[in-house]
Amino acid sequence: MRDEGLLEKLTQIWGVSGYEKAVREEIRGIVEPFADELWEDAVGNLIVHRKGGSPSGKKIMYAAHMDQIGFMVKNIEDNGLLRICNMGWNWAGSAYNEKVIFRNGTIGVVGCYGPIEEAGNKIEKLFVDIGAKDGEEARRLVKIGDCCGYFGPYLHLAGGLICSKSLDDRLGCYQLIESLKENPGNLPNDIYYCFVVQEELGCRGSKVAAQQICPDIGIAVDITPAHDYPNDLTGSNRVGAGIGIKICDPSVVADEMVTGVMEKLCADNGIPCQREVIDRGGTDASSMNLTGAGVRTGGICVVTRYPHSQSSVVSGEDIEAGIDLMNAFSAYDFSADIQ
């Protein structure tokens, strides 16, 4: 990988949806030297503009979200246990017995009121145990409205695979950073690298960013669920089979011109790829697609096992293929495709 240390660092920064400040500050310090323009907007998006060199060039917006899924404390019981609600989509079963960390460093373990088998997917059946002996001690450490996210290391598995929390979507942020570094500054297109907020709460940040940029093309750079291991999803997505080119999900149908260009660029440049179709979930492509008078949208997706958990698994080669595709897409002349 180009800079695996950066990817690891990004995954370990605390940044639950709506509270992405530390992630944004880290990224800003890295990307500022490469920006022609850079700004933060009112909702917390970080937008980096790299100017193009052609009057017929198009505005391309890449969006990767900085937020990670987590939980918010909604009540502190007198026995010291914390009642929680979702910040993003969590499965009760995958959260059960796992460690979480609050922004102030307080660590907790997720438990369940009753057997986890009977909880269904009701997050209200879960609690966080921070070890407090009673509510008074717990309230000294945590307040109602405080958030926690999964806690865990960045690990290497066999076959060149990576396991970590927060790969959704810190790997997308990593891809944007590396592509920005490799942008020579004389591409035909204006490129906007957008590190957006609150995707896990409804693709909010990308909508605000797209309203400011008014792009010709919007590309969500994110993960997508794998189908190559036993789980409750079906499809063709396989870890290690190349970068996913979004065709469709419940929130968006990708623009045929965009997907066609991506497939051609992968074929011409020897970039391994796979067509990505899912029937659950969505990405920032949905918000960009419906901004203003409408935006041609697509997606660059890293296939991921165990998504929305503390132990997501991806291929480093798929991540790098995504950067290669971004670079080729940024340099493509769209004058014959978009008038």
Q: Which residues are catalytic?
A: 199
- At 263 the three-state DSSP class reads helix
Smallest CA-to-CA distance from 111 within 79, 89, 145 is with 79
Indicate the residue type of 214. C
Residues 254, 169: Cα–Cα separation, whole Å: 20
Query: What is the C-alpha to C-alpha distance for residues 255 and 233, in angstroms, rounded to an integer?
Result: 24
Residues with Cβ within 8 Å of residue 266, at least 6 apart in sequence: 242, 243, 245, 272, 273, 325, 328
CA atoms of 74 and 84, how far apart (whole Å): 5
Distance CA 94, CA 112 (A): 12
For 172, the 3-state DSSP assignment is helix
- Give the burial class of 104: count Cβ atoms within 10 A of its Cβ; 0-12 exposed, 13-18 middle, 19 or more buried: exposed
* CA-angle at 110, arms to 106 and 111, nearest 5°: 135
Name the strand (E) or helix (H) holding 253.
Answer: strand 252-253
Calculate the alpha carbon distances from 16 to 20, 166, 276, 295, 307 in Å.
6, 10, 27, 28, 16
